[in-house]
Amino acid sequence: MDRIHILGTLLERERKRRDQALQECRELERQAQAALGQVQTLQDYRLEYQQRWSGQFRQAAPIEILRCYHGFVGRLDQAINAQQGVAQQAETRCQAGRERLRQRELKLATVQRLIERRQHLLRQAAERREQKQSDEAAQRKAWAARRDLAAI
Q: What is the pLDDT of residues 90-123, one digit of tens each?
A: 999 999 999 999 999 999 999 999 999 999 999 9
Local confidence band at 56 (pLDDT 50, 70, 90 cut-offs): confident
Q: CA dihedral in degrees (129, 131, 132, 133; nearest 10)?
A: 80
Please count the structural domains in the chain.
1
What is the model's pLDDT at position 65? 84
Q: What percent of the chain has pLDDT over 70?
A: 99
CATH code at position 46:
1.10.287.1700
**Residue 67 and residue 122 in contact, taking contact as beta carbons nearer than 8 Å:** no
Q: From the CB of residue 62, how many other CB atoms can be counted at a distance below 10 Å?
A: 8
Query: What's the mean pLDDT in 79-100?
Result: 98
Residue 111 is part of which domain span? 2-151
Closest CA to 85 of 141, 27, 137, 35: 35
What are the DSSP calls for 113-144, one per residue? HHHHHHHHHHHHHHHHHHHHHHHHHHHHHHHH
